[in-house]
Copies of this chain bind each other. A is one copy, B any other.
Amino acid sequence: MPASSADSAAATLEALLPEGRVLTSAASFAGFLHDEGEWAVYGDPLAVVRAESTEEVAAAVRWCAETGTPLVARGAGTGLSGAANAIEGCVVVSFERMNAILEVNHAERWARVQPGVVNDDLRAHVAQHGLWYPPDPASSPWSTIGGNVATNAGGMCCVKYGVTRDYVLELEVVTGTGEATRLGTRTAKGVAGYNLVGLIVGSEGTLAVVTEVVVRLRPLPPAPITVAGMFDSVVDAGRAVALVAESGISPSVLELVDRHCLKAVDDWKHMGLSTEANAVLIGRTDAPGEQGQFEAAELARCFEEAGASLAAISADEQESEALYAARRLAYPALERLGPVLTEDVCVPKARVPEVLARIEEIAAAHNVLIANIAHAGDGNLHPLIITTPGDDAARGRAHEAFSEIIDAALAAGGTVSGEHGVGTLKLAGLAKELSPVSLAMHHAVKNALDPHGILNPGRAIPPLG
């Protein structure tokens, strides 16, 4: 729309909300344009609403429904698939100001929070009461619970403790027609009505706008024992993962980091990390007492059987924390080297070694650098395709590699996204994964809950073929 009519449209939105809520100047949009999904498209919003209440969110949604304006809900913008990117002419609803922890119930073990609460802030708060919110995406120091809900975020602890959806009991949402309602129940069990909570978690803001979340908590687990394994190749490390899966134990963490990642972290943070191994597995067990000892020994045995050059049960908590921190820092460290295209395929655990080998072939064939971090115990691989800034040819090759990794994962019985979501970057991949009948069901649900087609349109589900 021309600038003047955009201005007058934005003015009618501004008039509905208290002063200071609505940003309308292009200069003020800088922090609200895109997430961390490298190369995902984004446009210029019409306005940014920094909402402070459910009522304000509902007013924005109703305005969008009346005017046919796309609405993009936004947490901290740490997503990796472009799902929170501004759409040309959209309203961005930012939850930065709705960041209160409203209530913690110790006996029933839940917390009621606003969507803008940062994941680590919630974790720190409930830890004071001996409680734990498990989902721990690597972005936890920055990402918000609302964003975690929108993407069904995973993390390191998922291998034992599950993903965000497993911890969401109740939601308050604003529907696609601008009405607020609560969904779900805080009780331990409940089958009253359809599982709309589980449907909305992971729907990337395309079915409703989440304005409050009740999350289930657990007691804090015992201090973990860490087992590190050094491997000559990522494929050997993958074999160790398959052996752990066969062993029947339940590690609380099983992460893979390759040499590229360790080097990038060490170059940045000077942590004195060894970069002699080509791949490191970081296993942890938080099982209590003798069971913990047993599981740690089993992890070491699996690492050795797969050919680890070193498998050590850590006596040194400092060293173990350094390795764990290195895993968390891998992504920002690699981003310093140039644009990173992040893969997120998830494959059956027994197929991890073969898919890692295939990724090496793909890197060689397309002459791109692919670093690997992985929630290996889940089969959730994050090949990171790194290119030189400004090298358009490399960028084209990276996209080809990205697409071939998806094909390799699907061929191995995997899925295009384990935890980062579809956004726009995985739309083409998802179109390969879903049957035409399933895709039609997705669109039927989308149209049912968002009849005006305004909630983050074009994201999360590919267009009908």
Q: Which of A13-21, A30-38, A268-276, A284-292 contacts its partner?
A: A284-292
Question: Any chain B CB within 8 A of the CB of A437?
Answer: yes
Most buried by B among A175, A433, A438: A438
Q: Bound complex: CA of A107 vs CA of B246, how far in Å?
A: 5
CB–CB A435/B165 < 8 A: no
Query: Smallest distance from the beta carbon of A272 to chain B beta carbons, Å?
Result: 33
Q: Bound complex: CA of A159 vs CA of B250, how far in Å?
A: 19
Most buried by B among A163, A182, A219, A418: A418
Q: When A107-B349, A108-B245, A186-B348 are in contact, do A193 and B163 touch as well, CB less than 8 Å?
A: no
Within 8 A of B (CB), among A408-451: 413-422, 426, 429-430, 433-435, 437-438, 441-442, 444-449, 451
Q: Bound complex: CA of A154 vs CA of B166, how far in Å?
A: 16
Within 8 A of B (CB), among A322-379: 346-350, 375, 377-379
Q: Bound complex: CA of A434 vs CA of B193, how far in Å?
A: 8
Q: Which chain B residues lie closer than 8 Å to A288 at the CB level?
A: 287, 289-291
CB–CB B165/A416 < 8 A: no
Chain B's closest residue to A182 (CB) is B435
Q: When A219-B248, A347-B187 are in contact, do A196 and B378 touch as well, CB less than 8 Å?
A: no
Question: Any chain B CB within 8 A of the CB of A94?
Answer: no
Q: Which chain B residues lie closer than 8 Å to A444 at the CB level?
A: 448-449, 451
Q: When A107-B246, A165-B198, A287-B288 are in contact, do A190 and B437 touch as well, CB less than 8 Å?
A: no
Chain A residues packing against B (C-beta within 8 Å): 106-108, 130, 151-152, 154, 158-159, 163, 165-166, 175, 179-183, 185-196, 198-199, 201-203, 207, 219, 242, 245-246, 248, 250, 287-291, 346-350, 375, 377-380, 413-422, 426, 429-430, 433-435, 437-438, 441-442, 444-449, 451, 460-461
15 new A-B pairs (CB below 8 Å) besides A165-B195, A192-B433, A444-B449? Answer: A107-B245, A181-B435, A186-B413, A187-B346, A187-B347, A191-B418, A192-B422, A193-B430, A194-B445, A219-B250, A288-B290, A289-B289, A289-B291, A445-B445, A445-B449
